Amino acid sequence: MKNIYLPLIRKHDIVVREVADETLVYDISRNRAFCLNPTSAAIWKLCDGTLSIEDIALRLGMETEKDVNDDLVWLAVSQFSKEGLLDRKPSNLDLNEYSRRSAVKRIAVTSTLALPIIASLVAPAAAQTASCLPPNDPCVIGTPPLCCEFCNGFGSQFPGFPGICSPPVT
């Protein structure tokens, strides 16, 4: 008897938000963000660990009222696996039976849904997103960009007064 693969998405260290017709997935542990198109988002939602690839294809077909074959689901699941978004990854045997190139050809002929697309990017760490002046740079009180710590106006707190970026004077 053949083992049936039941894909399961990761839920730990993951933040998911739906924006317009896309689903954004942020992997907190790796500082990576993913944008799922509607097809991959629909498959993502069905990867709950209780449905097989075939069941997901059937359910997606019923929800969209379109023809969906297993290859379309395998394409999305293999991308989720590659990006580390699955808790229960397919075995090498499962992936060996699946050929991405031949699947895309079959999907193009048989499916009326868009190919599942997952765009990814590395999100900068919080320290890299700062937009402030470093210490000892000249600054003007109350005008952007502001100092990372404090614009020392040498006793003046009036907007427009020149100063130097420095720690607050105590």
Q: pLDDT of 34-48, one tens digit each? A: 999 899 999 999 999
Residue 8 to residues 5, 62, 68, 141, Cα–Cα distance (Å): 9, 21, 20, 53
Q: Locate 157 and state its tokens.
A: 């707190």
More confidently predicted of 108 and 86: 86
pLDDT at 20: 81
- Given a contact cutoff of 8 angstroms between Cβ atoms, the answer to whether 135 and 149 are in contact is yes
Residue 30 has pLDDT above 80, yes or no: yes
CA distance 71 to 107: 7
Residue 70 to residues 6, 37, 58, Cα–Cα distance (Å): 13, 18, 9
Q: Is the model's pTM score more than 0.75? A: no
pLDDT at 143: 60
Q: How many alpha carbons lie under 13 Å from residue 11 in its C-beta half-sphere?
A: 6
More confidently predicted of 4 and 151: 4
CA distance 7 to 67: 21
Average pLDDT, integer, range 130-138: 65
pLDDT at 109: 44
Average pLDDT, integer, range 3-13: 90
Q: Please, which residues have CB within 8 angstroms of residue 137's CB and are 6 or more apart in sequence?
A: 147, 164, 165
* Mean pLDDT taken over the chain: 75
